[in-house]
Amino acid sequence: MEVIAHIFNDFDTKFGVPRQSGVVSSLRGRIVFEKEYRVREAFRGLDEFSHIWLLWDFSEAHKEKWSPTVRPPRLGGNQRMGVFATRSPFRPNNIGLSSVRLLTIDYNDPEGPVLIVEGADLMNNTPIFDVKPYLRYTDCHEDATGGFTSSSGDEMFRLKVEMSDEVSALLHNSLSDIQMKALVDILSNDPRPHYKKDGDKDYVMEYAGNEIRFSVSNGIVTIIGIGV
């Protein structure tokens, strides 16, 4: 398969990237196509869809061999499941699948047409193999079951995010309102590894060119500081 595009967003490292698409709906990204595919006619009708599928490459997770079982973070990293029962990046073929909201198609961008999307769970500069429209009448299954993911309770639990006035001022000087909202949403979903949640440790997350330092205690995320 050929890479047809790359996504550009605020995550240059894996830590902090949402674990699934749509979890942080406020997180925005730009999908820029390779020159060969910047053909206006190829996008005709796409702007009529609210959501699209992205097929992409787990480019930072390539390994020579695959494993039939993996340790899903959702289970604390302590229990093995079959690789085909998970969305682990360590698979026979390193292909990711994400459903994202299509906000607009920017035809006036010098690199256009550029897709502006929300809710992606991809790192910055991730290669994309294909884009397809999301079809509600066939892609949405209201009676679907969630297997081992249904018992974790993560869907309803969110951490509270706090910061001092000083830190808030620094963040607002460095981030746009949209980026600020996405940061709070990311932290409220607890970006720490499920199997390594040390309440006595400070964590550093690279986001939008900044180092966001935070700690977690008693269900509260405290943003301690910001660096560049």
Q: Which helix (H) or strand (E) holds 180?
A: helix 177-188
Q: Residue 194: is it exposed, middle or buried by C-beta count within 10 angstroms (0-12/13-18/19+)?
A: middle
pLDDT at 196 exceeding the cut of 80: no
- Residue pLDDT, tens place only, 43-86: 999 999 999 999 999 998 888 888 899 888 777 777 899 999 98
Kindly report, residue by residue over 125-151, the tens digit of the pLDDT: 999 999 999 999 999 888 888 887 776
The pLDDT value given to residue 36: 97
pLDDT digits (tens, 9 = 90+) for 84-108: 998 888 899 999 999 999 999 999 9
Please provide the average confidence, as pLDDT, over all residues in the chain. Answer: 91
pTM of the predicted model over 0.75: yes
Whole-angstrom distance, CA of residue 127 vs CA of residue 56: 6
- What residue has token string 């079959």? 82
Closest to 9 in 3D by CA, of 54, 72, 61, 63: 54
Of the ranges 13-17, 146-150, 152-156, which one carries the lowest mean pLDDT score? 152-156
The reported pLDDT for the residue numbered 60 is 85
Higher pLDDT, 98 or 201: 98
